[in-house]
Amino acid sequence: MINSKQKVLTISSTAFNNETNIPVKYTCDGDDTNPPLTITDIPEEAHSLAIIMEDPDAPKGTFTHWLVWNIPVSHHIKEHANPGISGNNSAGKTGYHGPCPPSGSHRYYFHVYALNDKLDLPVGADRASLEKSMTDHILAQGSIMAHYQRAGK
């Protein structure tokens, strides 16, 4: 989805480093709440942010864990927050659905997008609708990835 005109956002978290394990607190085995995210290099012309969290290692194909858009421009997404409008994740619910792999270690990507406008999408929209709506509005994007494997799985 990135093109040559888009800038790169730098995404980090105080809860985990890129490509390390996400703490249990942010998974189905813990509080099942979103981790804090820090976003830098946001273009000045950004009007909103969007987040897509996904697990590309899910047995039936990529599992979308979190869709949220129309997030006010900020350098911080707080822990246990619903900072914008939530879409339906692959579990058929709105809001954050933490890592919960059935077996083995999975990768979890938090993709963050800086957009030049707010999106006209209703609560509960699906990922395809979000991606289509964002297509011409992405100014910058970046990602952070974490691993998770459930104990005994």
Average pLDDT of 8-34? 98
Average pLDDT of 33-53? 97
**Mean pLDDT of all residues belonging to the chain:** 95
Q: Decide if 137 is inside a domain.
A: yes
Number of folded domains that form the chain: 1
**Dist. CA 147–CA 18, nearest whole Å:** 9
**Dist. CA 48–CA 19, nearest whole Å:** 26
Block residue for tokens 């599992």: 63
Q: What is the CATH number of the domain that holds 37?
A: 3.90.280.10
Q: Decide if 11 is inside a domain.
A: yes
Q: Decide if 122 is inside a domain.
A: yes
**pTM score, two decimals?**
0.95
Q: Decide if 89 is inside a domain.
A: yes
Q: Decide if 14 is inside a domain.
A: yes
Q: How confident is the model at residue 6 (pLDDT cuts 50, 70, 90)?
A: confident
Q: Decide if 2 is inside a domain.
A: no
* Identity of the amino acid at 16: F
Name, in order, each residue with C-beta under 8 angstroms of 135's C-beta and a sequence gap of 6 or more. 1
Q: How confident is the model at residue 2 (pLDDT cuts 50, 70, 90)?
A: very low
CA geometry: angle 26, 29, 34, nearest 5 deg: 15
The domain of 92 spans 7-148
Put the strands of the sheet holding 37-40 in their side by side order.
10-12, 37-40, 76-77
Q: Decide if 101 is inside a domain.
A: yes
Q: Decide if 1 is inside a domain.
A: no
